[in-house]
């Protein structure tokens, strides 16, 4: 399943009382998230009932590309972008090199609640392609180069893209044996 996880929802089926979880949208309890998105991040989450596929997507050893759109505070300098591309020193070590570019503001859904707006501080959208998955990695990387992330949306994982899925919508995929074998056999090229 491809699911567009809304803002302020946990990437799991259980949570503390009052917290929104995947169970609020997905009735099939035989699927598991292949990787996670923080509660305050939005976008593509892949769920599967196939443990081998779940491991292939989620384990950093397989280096599946994940593409994020981040709205950051400020205007990135070329130096900041180059730092992100080379790798950033975080408290748990240097990140792997990252593809990053400034993008036009995407046409996307509004967020509830909206991000804070400050008249005198511009924001910029950047696209980042990561092949590792540390805890809150994009947010920590952008903060380390002086560009705090205000909004974060994952738009692709391996061959799958968010496309027109709106928050809370899901799309089921039926993978035949050949498709499963292909996913398990090769590293996936970055989604275009």
Report d(CA 58, CA 39) in Å as an integer. 17
DSSP string, 103-161: EPPP-----SSPPP--TTS-EEEEEEEES---TTHHHHHHHHTT--EEEEEEEEETTEE
Task: Number of helices (H) and strands (E) in the chain: give both, helices first.
Answer: 4, 11
Nearest to 133 by CA among 34, 40, 49: 34
Max Cα–Cα distance, the chain, nearest Å = 55
Torsion of CA 14, 18, 19, 23, to 10 degrees: 50
Tokens of 133: 């998955």
38 is catalytic: yes
Report d(CA 34, CA 124) in Å as an integer. 29
Q: From the candidates 38, 49, 92, 176, which is the catalytic residue?
A: 38
Which residues have C-beta within 8 Å of that of residue 79, sequence separation ≥ 6? none
The residues that are catalytic are 38
């Amino acid at each position: 399943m491809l699911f567009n996880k809304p803002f302020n929802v946990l990437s799991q089926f259980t949570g503390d009382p009052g917290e929104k979880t995947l169970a609020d949208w997905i009735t099939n309890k035989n699927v598991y998230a292949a990787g996670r998105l923080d509660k305050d991040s939005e976008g593509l989450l892949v769920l599967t009932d196939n443990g081998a596929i779940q491991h292939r997507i989620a384990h950093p050893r397989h280096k599946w590309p994940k593409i994020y759109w981040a709205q950051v505070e400020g205007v990135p300098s070329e130096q900041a972008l180059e730092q992100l591309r080379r790798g950033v020193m975080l408290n748990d070590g240097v990140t792997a090199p990252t593809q990053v570019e400034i993008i036009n503001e995407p046409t996307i859904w509004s967020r509830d609640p909206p991000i804070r707006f400050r008249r005198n501080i511009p924001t910029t959208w950047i696209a980042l392609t990561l092949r590792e998955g540390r805890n809150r990695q994009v947010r920590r990387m952008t903060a380390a180069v002086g560009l705090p992330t205000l909004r974060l949306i994952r738009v692709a994982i391996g061959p799958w893209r968010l496309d027109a899925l709106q928050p809370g919508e899901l799309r089921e995929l039926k993978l035949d044996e050949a498709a499963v074998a292909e996913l398990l056999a090769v590293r996936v090229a970055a989604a275009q």
